Amino acid sequence: MHRTIILFSVALVLALTATRTVAQPPKKPSGILYIMKPTPAVYAVEPKIEAVLLLTATQRSQIQQAHAELFNTAELKQLGLKYEDKTLSDKERKSALAALALARSKASAKFAKRVDEILTANQKATINNVANAYRDAQKQVGPLGPGKSKEEQKTHTALFRAAFAQRLQSILTGEQKAALAKANAK
């Protein structure tokens, strides 16, 4: 549960911050995305899910400040620039990416700890409940399987979204539902 909370928190802040702070590697899944399953995938189904945490203005500010302090560092910027250097050999580029990934991983761990200190017990429980609802919806709908048509994929996705939405409605309070609806209306 603690790991889910920490990882969800990392995803939360990344969603809260709209600025790009470090050069990004190619559009391949990072190791963090694999570790965070299924929590980051919740954002694909419900992009404004963090609204259910009912973060206070102070909490948002503290989370954004922690993110800025840990991810807007000279080290990460320099590693990002090095990775983007077009004159690097493949071996040097892989080495630069590994160094960048390691630095990000360390920053993410520190950030997760800080966010964990900022969130209340109820917010942490909500994160866990949302992650469980997502997993339950996955189990209910089942895997899609390989070789399915686009129409079968769309149907599967629609069934999953409906199952997840139903589970969300059963775990969220009225206040959380209203906050999510308001966030989605923006």
Domain boundaries, the chain: 2-185
Q: How confident is the model at residue 101 (pLDDT cuts 50, 70, 90)?
A: very high
Helix-strand-coil split of the chain, %, nearest 5: 75, 0, 25
* Residue 115, Cβ density class (10 Å: 0-12 exposed, 13-18 middle, ≥19 buried): buried
**Tokens 């997502």, residue?**
134
More confident residue, 172 or 30: 172
Tokens of 181: 């609806």
Q: How confident is the model at residue 39 (pLDDT cuts 50, 70, 90)?
A: low
Q: How confident is the model at residue 7 (pLDDT cuts 50, 70, 90)?
A: very low
Q: How confident is the model at residue 176 (pLDDT cuts 50, 70, 90)?
A: very high
Q: What is the mean pLDDT of residues 43-58?
A: 88
Q: How confident is the model at residue 128 (pLDDT cuts 50, 70, 90)?
A: confident
Q: 3-state DSSP call for residue 165?
A: helix
Q: How confident is the model at residue 103 (pLDDT cuts 50, 70, 90)?
A: very high
Cβ atoms of residues 160 and 137 within 8 Å: yes
Q: Is the pLDDT of residue 50 over 90?
A: no
User: Helices 2-16 & 57-71, crossing angle to 10 degrees?
Assistant: 90
Could you read off the pLDDT of 106-118 as tens digits, one per residue?
998 898 888 889 9
Share above pLDDT 70 across residues of the chain, in percent, rounded to a whole number: 79
Q: How confident is the model at residue 121 (pLDDT cuts 50, 70, 90)?
A: very high
More confident residue, 179 or 48: 179
More confident residue, 111 or 176: 176
pLDDT at 18: 34
User: What amino acid occupies position 111?
Assistant: F
Q: How many CB atoms lie within 10 A of CB 35?
A: 15
pLDDT at 49: 87
Distance CA 8, CA 112 (A): 9
